[in-house]
Amino acid sequence: MLSFIYRLIYSFRAEHGFSPNVIYLTETHYRALCENLPDLGHEQIERFLEVQIVLVSETSHPRAAWQEQMHRRAAGGL
């Protein structure tokens, strides 16, 4: 799963010219990602990937996005 997420982030960056700040995953995808990074907790995984992870109930594939609100919160703004 980790390699898939890396490719997802890279593809987003190549298409948009900037990195995503959020990744949408189902709980199943998230568990698979955690298995690839067993020594890291949730916040450490987010820092490692430099994205916020949002769990969603239904999606066929993980997806990357940019959300302005996420950027402001990360920068300490409103």
Asked if the model's pLDDT at residue 51 lies above 70, the reply is yes
Does residue 12 contact residue 23 with C-beta atoms inside 8 Å? no
Q: What is the pLDDT of residue 78?
A: 45
E strand segments, 1-78: 22-25, 52-55, 63-65
d(CA 69, CA 37): 27
Q: What is the pLDDT of residue 58?
A: 81
**pLDDT average, residue stretch 48-77:** 81
